[in-house]
Chains A and B, each alone.
Chain A
Amino acid sequence: MDRETIKKQIIEIIADILPDQDLSSLSEEESLREQLGMDSMDVLDIAMEFRKNFKIAIEDEDLVKLSSLNSCIEYLDQKISSKSH
């Protein structure tokens, strides 16, 4: 799965959680907490959706890695490619 596809899927997941927010100008670097007020409960939810959509297991310790769009993409990219090997 390429980076763009992963990004698209992540944004779809966030859009599903936050249907009332405009995500068109979401920055990849800035934290999701700053931009969308997402807290630890939301990060857990994003992780749950990753687990469900990408069929990967996520460790609790990894939740801190899901802070920005960029870090989410990197994390998933790594997880998915290590799964397919």
Chain B
Amino acid sequence: MNSKEYDYIIIGAGFSGLSCALRLAMFDHKVAILESHSIPGGLNSYYKRKAGKEIIRIDTGLHALTNYSVKGELGTKLFPQILKQFRFSYDQFNLCPQIKSKIILQDQMIEFSNDINFLSQNVKNLFPNHHQEFLNFLEFVKTQNLNLYNAPFASGLEMISSFINNKNLINLLSFPIICYGSCWPKDIDSYLYLSLFKAIYLEGLSRPREGIKTILDLFEEKLKTYKNVDLIYKNQVANLEIQKNAIRVETQKSTFLTKKVFSSIGYPKMKDLLGEKLHKENLSQVSFVEVVFVYDEEKDQAYEETIIFFNESETNIFEQKDVLIGKSAGVICCVENFKSSKKLNKIIKVTFYGNYSAWSKLDKKEYIKNKKTIIDYAKSKLQLYLPKEKRNPVYIDCFTPKTIKRYTSHLNGMVYGSTDKFKDGLFHASKDLILIGADQGNVGITGCILSGASMANKHGLSLR
């Protein structure tokens, strides 16, 4: 069988794979992206459903894009960096910023928006004795150079505790950070803590008006303008072999030879494809169950929360041992409550922690039954946290860690990667195998875009 040759092969057309391939392609390298599915996006993709009279597009992941910036902004924010790296212009993203979001933990509640002064004022009102500590922490976050960070796991919660001497305030501020990026059960690496603190509070949340497809199309269309790129869908990599002068990459359909592989499928899966021993302890248990409510009537303008992070349990934020969902905590996202001059999709999402092994034990009947129970449970949370929301949904969907595994191949339906992170991308004796995405140590859409770009820059591009 003839094998095709490329300078670089990228495994996975999620955000880290797309961005990595585009950076390499921009500077004339011959690259191929191999993707199991027929469309790009991975954990952040989309599908179409008939809802009421209309056919609508539903995003599989996207609550919000972190790292908001306004047009023309210069400086160190991440979003302008992304625009520059890929030569996109701001308006192509159609970003709609959040109105405001809420964090509710037991009987405490704090609001934040894309203006850090609003959060700061709220901290001052609720925790007057700790406001200065909060300001000190802000200063600390601003001065950290996240590009150079390369250290083993250090507790993010301990880090913030060394600044802020109030458990409630720490828990409030940390909850969204952990929801949006931690693969560890009760804590988060300080590097990720800092980058997500910046991403969520200092820079802020937004959403492309038409959802995730806008960003996927930007990448895909730009990639297609390069003749030196092949975007190869429906090709699942089944085997990897390190040969003397090349790496051999096999899918069920073809064989490829390349100098380097950039992979977004994670450390455990890469070990698996190389036929090397997989250590189970690297697997994270963090996955999601998400209920999607679609409406056809206009929203009553009476509430304007964009995202609500809630946790009702006192001791443990995460109940994810062997439960179908972590009942006490969740995230509600109201797509209509981003600021926009045009109408946004009438969708509300309710997301809980979910555990893959609990879901995979169910037979088909029980699986469907449990999904129904969880949809009802999600409705009760909507009534509690958005009492003014009275509409009847015209379409409801629910996906589980099993769904996530089926569509992304991530073991356990892992959302934020395995618990080992390789910040320089190198995980193997061969330096021609490079990790991008969550296991490289960046999470979220903007984080993964940056991951793909920075690993391409570091390992794939040269000035000479």
The binding surface of chain B is classed by DSSP as loop
Decide if A59 touches B74 in the complex (CB within 8 Å): no
Nearest chain-A residue to B28 (Cβ)? A52
Given the contacts A37-B75, A48-B27, A52-B28, A17 and B84 also touching, CB distance less than 8 Å: yes
Q: Say if the beta carbon of A24 comes within 8 Å of chain B.
A: no
A52–B26 CA distance with the chains assembled, in angstroms: 10
Q: Say if the beta carbon of B387 comes within 8 Å of chain A.
A: no
Decide if A51 touches B75 in the complex (CB within 8 Å): no
> In the complex, how many angstroms separate the beta carbon of B143 from the nearest chain A beta carbon?
15
A58–B464 CA distance with the chains assembled, in angstroms: 6
Decide if B463 touches A47 in the complex (CB within 8 Å): yes
Decide if A41 touches B85 in the complex (CB within 8 Å): yes
Decide if B464 touches A57 in the complex (CB within 8 Å): yes
Interface string of B53-72 (1 = CB under 8 A from A): 00000000000000000011
Q: Say if the beta carbon of B457 comes within 8 Å of chain A.
A: yes
Decide if A20 touches B89 in the complex (CB within 8 Å): yes
Decide if B74 touches A60 in the complex (CB within 8 Å): no
Q: Say if the beta carbon of A18 comes within 8 Å of chain B.
A: yes
Decide if B457 touches A44 in the complex (CB within 8 Å): yes
Q: Say if the beta carbon of B233 comes within 8 Å of chain A.
A: no
Q: Say if the beta carbon of A16 comes within 8 Å of chain B.
A: yes
Q: Say if the beta carbon of B238 comes within 8 Å of chain A.
A: no
| Chain A residues near B457 (CB-CB < 8 A) | 41, 44
| Chain B residues near A20 (CB-CB < 8 A) | 71-72, 83, 89-90
Nearest chain-A residue to B89 (Cβ)? A19
| Chain A residues near B218 (CB-CB < 8 A) | none
4 additional contacts, CB 8 Å, given A18-B84, A58-B463, A58-B464? A20-B71, A42-B84, A48-B463, A52-B28
Q: What are 7 A-B pairs at a CB distance below 8 A?
A: A17-B84, A41-B85, A44-B463, A51-B463, A58-B463, A59-B463, A60-B463
